[in-house]
Chains A and B, each alone.
Chain A
Amino acid sequence: MGIQLRARAQPQGEARQVLGRVTRAPVDEARRADYIRVIPRGNTPAESLTGYAAVLMEGARDLASTGVTVHGYESLDFLRDGYIGLVDTGSGQTRAVYRPDSDYNVLFATDRCNSNCLMCSQPPKEVDDSQIVTQHLRLIELIQAPPQRMGITGGEPTLLKDGLVQILERLKVRFPETLVLMLSNGRLYAYEDFVQKLGAVRHPQFLTSIPLYADNALDHDYIVQARGAFDQTIHGFYNATKHSLAVEVRVVLHKQTIPGLFALAEFIYRNLPFVRHVALMGLENMGYVKKNWDLLWIDPVDYAETLEATVRHLYERRVDVSVYNLPLCVLPNALWSFARKSISDYKNIYLDECARCRVREHCGGLFQSSETRHSRAIRAVP
């Protein structure tokens, strides 16, 4: 099983979104605005509940409190004290948006995107998120201990434009040691004035991870379903480097990228030798992938040879390369040292078969979404 990150209860009147640190114990009134108070089933606090950012209750009860109160949650066990929660009163949904005990925290920058990739695991939504930058800045304020890593993802984070610059600035001021990894298609990096602003933040630990799916515009533009995207992204890589923004390349491995994968590695070394890292990533069966399954699915064991040649090519050239999202049993042994435990904890699973596996503790496992649909080669390594 993956990890539960959200729960839903009754919608409560006016639609608002509220952030706060989770607590089950009472907090001084002066500091309550930073906290979400969780009332477990069966508890009835004697003291007043006014002043909290929100009060969440398991079970259908209505204790007197002012401000945001949502009740009717089946269980809020997943929402541990110290987590940061986001309560949406309109839908009654509460999500854990920051977990201090996890290494996989992200700022989910926006739902919007300017591409529409065939294999998008998180399909874009056209929503009004004009308040979202304020919310991200608030979240950064609420985090107490510096995280080791912080992701920025979406959607396409660069669509926040100057808002993104603000977020990066805030992260740098609050947590200069934190490694910030942003997943972006890099297309807006084609605009040099924007890149210049991001570069001027001089965040010491900021890495932009940009997908490149082919060594040519036709194939790349088709895969991301956006004409001109290849040119923008290539310019983006160069602008980023010009303004001292570190970049890495991500390639999702599927039926449309495998035939050109080796040529892409050649292209990366000759044309983008400054990238910090190349991540070759197994497909996640989410979002559009379900819809485009036949267009995209190729069993990893059927591209093992191409993958090994590609890794070898980059390794010989001393380009740092990793393989993400593929369990060890579907990889050639020669690639085991390149495999990373890359799947975020909340959607990471192992199969029953894995219990007997000799290398399970070194293996990254599977996506939860691959539980029933996965490589035919999955087997316990004897």
Chain B
Amino acid sequence: MPGPVFAPREHYRSDAPAYSLLPFRFDRRDNGDYLLVNEVGEYIVLPPPDFQGFVSHRLSAEGASYSRLKAKHFLSDSNSSALFDVLASKYRTKKSFLDGFTKLHIFVTTLRCNQSCPYCQVSRQNESAGAFDMTEEMLHRSVDLMLACPAPAITMEFQGGEPLLNFDMLREGVRYAKARNEAIGKHIDYVICTNLALLEERHLEYFEGQGIQVSTSLDGPDYLHDKNRPMGKGPSHAAVTRNIRRAQEALGRQAVSALMTTTRESLKYPRQIVDEYLRMDLGSIFARDLNPYGFAVKARGALGYSSADFLRFYKDLFEYVIEINRQGRTFPEAFATLVLTKMLTPWPIGFVDLQSPSGAGIGVVVYNYDGDVYASDESRMLAEMGQHTFRLGNVLEDSYSDIFFGEAMQTIAAAACNESLAGCSDCAYQPYCGADPVRHYSTQKDIFGHRPSSGYCQKNMGVIKHLFNLLLDGGVDLEPIFWAWIHREDVKRMQLPKPAWVSS
């Protein structure tokens, strides 16, 4: 009986040896290698000869680089067509943050505040100024708009001012949203952004009963925080740290998070800031630079710093954060986690500052205390400075489609895709970054912006490049830490587990 006949590998090669390049962008690394990134965020590093051979269509199909480039969607040849469909699916997946449209709905129930931070980006008003509260009619109409958005899962976030100064309106907003949503059935997360100074027991009871998460501001240890965030009646650091503890006890550690803002003073204390977050048992840190809005613009001389200064600070802070995670304590830096998710996974992220199309109006919307609707938190900050470019409409005067598809939204959308912005369109890091027309309008008087002098660009590119350097050269123990952050998992659980039957 004749046995089976097997064909050699060569038999399965297609006849046409030519290949085409798929869309990608590249950068040169410090060591001379090329870093290539494609539309869906997959990357590959090539030594110069392979890169030159690849782009001039001379790369041998037998070399190792060829099949890696093909499997990662940098080239295509006639040997497979399925991969095109896969690439399309991956692209849709990466852009699926657009599904359901606006998901973050910010309510400014009051612009009054009990603190007087010199970097205040929203141009807060004095505690007693009555004209800066949202009316109930505006509030109801805003909630109706929120619930009209198609997204099945949304976040209702209360900002200010200090929302605790208008607590009744917050309660009414949550009550009305829940009542209206009964027939609609969306999943709604509730968040209050508060400095916690005015926190009372009844507030905590209410947050716990309603499942409201707390986001507060903590800039670091007392000598830094009190300087950054002064409060009339006494030291704000003592108040916020005491009340973070109370909130953690009442609501659980996971329900309380904090944001820090970096001032020129902060640059001196990267490690001390991290230590303060650890001391307060906060789950992560988000190293944020100063946004160029509100009082921060006026105070730039006293508070500001260059992008290079910030990046130096960020890297120091990050190094310390890594050290802590290496010691077995899970403590992510949130901005890096977002970027790493874009770099290492096939999934999108829902962070409005790193999106293309930009988050403004599309991912986030702000209902201001006066009934005006803005495309983002930054848009209303600009409005307080007299610039109403990004005012989408008014809740009492305009319909859903007027607001979300009107002229202001069209203006933003024109500059919302970094795929087509000068300086971004050919940037290797474009898929990991975003577009921010509002910020560029604010800093450069141009929604399209000028990348070489853009602080947004310098900071994001600096962080992304730093993460690449760590990933590619930083040691094998970094990846498990990064994956723990991405999965929100304990770093210790990233080591390969022992079988249950092995006794240690």
Contact = CB atoms under 8 A, between A and B. Distances in A.
B279 interface: no
Contact of A230 (B68, B80, B499): B80
Contacts of B70: 216
Contacts of B347: 273
Contact of B4 (A123, A269, A317): A123
20 contacts: A215-B67, A216-B67, A217-B82, A218-B67, A225-B6, A230-B82, A238-B89, A263-B67, A263-B71, A266-B71, A270-B346, A271-B346, A311-B496, A316-B483, A318-B483, A336-B499, A336-B502, A337-B496, A337-B498, A338-B496
B487 A318 contact: yes
Interface string B331-358: 0000000000000011100000000000
B202 interface: no
A271 B86 contact: yes
A291 B4 contact: yes
Nearest to B499: A337
Interface size class of B (residues with CB under 8 A): 35 or more
Contact of B12 (A227, A234, A238, A338): A227
A179 interface: no
B79 interface: yes
B49 interface: no
A362 B499 CA distance: 9
B184 interface: no
Given A235-B85, A271-B90, A318-B487, A225 B7 contact: yes
Given A238-B86, A263-B68, A362-B501, 10 more contacts: A216-B80, A218-B67, A227-B12, A230-B82, A231-B80, A271-B86, A291-B3, A291-B4, A315-B496, A316-B479
A169 to B, nearest CB: 29
Contacts of A230: 80, 82
Contacts of A116: 4, 6
A335 B496 contact: yes
B494 interface: yes
B183 to A, nearest CB: 29
A212 to B, nearest CB: 12
Nearest to B87: A271
B56 interface: no
Contacts, number: 96
Nearest to B79: A217
A334 B79 contact: no
B265 interface: no
B82 to A, nearest CB: 4
A14 B498 CA distance: 58
Contacts of B71: 215-216, 263, 266-267
Contacts of A104: none
A166 B13 CA distance: 38
A270 B90 contact: yes
A301 B79 CA distance: 34
Interface in B73-88: 79-83, 85-86
B42 interface: yes
B496 A238 contact: no
Interface in B463-500: 479-480, 483, 487, 489, 494, 496-500
B281 to A, nearest CB: 26
Contacts of B496: 311-312, 315, 334-335, 337-338
Contacts of B90: 270-271
A238 B85 contact: yes
Interface of A: 116, 118, 123, 215-219, 221-222, 225, 227, 230-232, 234-235, 238, 260, 263, 266-267, 269-271, 273, 288, 291-292, 311-312, 315-318, 334-338, 359, 362
> By DSSP majority rule, is chain B's interface helix, strand, loop, or mixed?
loop
Given A230-B80, A315-B496, A334-B496, A218 B9 contact: yes
Contacts of B6: 116, 118, 225, 292
A260 B89 CA distance: 24
A359 B89 CA distance: 45
Contacts of A267: 71
A218 B12 contact: yes
Contacts of A288: 4
B124 to A, nearest CB: 43
Nearest to B83: A234
A358 to B, nearest CB: 11
A218 B80 CA distance: 9
A218 B496 CA distance: 33
Nearest to B483: A316
A187 B379 CA distance: 52
B11 interface: yes
A271 B40 CA distance: 11
Contacts of A232: 82
A225 B6 CA distance: 7
A218 B79 CA distance: 7
A317 B67 contact: no
A313 to B, nearest CB: 9
User: Most chain-B Cβ atoms within 10 A of its Cβ — which of A221, A288, A318, A362?
Assistant: A221
Interface in B298-319: none
Contacts of A359: 501
Nearest to B482: A316
Contacts of A362: 499, 501
Interface string B84-111: 0110011000000000000000000000
Contacts of B480: 316
Contacts of A273: 345-347
A235 B82 contact: yes
A368 B347 CA distance: 44
A224 to B, nearest CB: 10
A118 B67 CA distance: 21
Nearest to A328: B499
Contacts of B42: 270
Contacts of A118: 6
Nearest to A124: B4
A317 B480 CA distance: 9
B80 A317 contact: no
Given A123-B4, A222-B12, A231 B479 contact: no
Nearest to A190: B82
B75 to A, nearest CB: 11
Contacts of A219: 9, 67
A285 B390 CA distance: 69
Given A260-B67, A337-B497, A231 B346 contact: no
Contacts of B68: 263
A217 B498 contact: no
Contacts of A291: 3-4
Given A227-B12, A316-B479, A316-B494, A234 B346 contact: no
Nearest to B66: A216
A269 B501 CA distance: 30
A4 B480 CA distance: 47
A123 B6 CA distance: 13
B81 A231 contact: yes
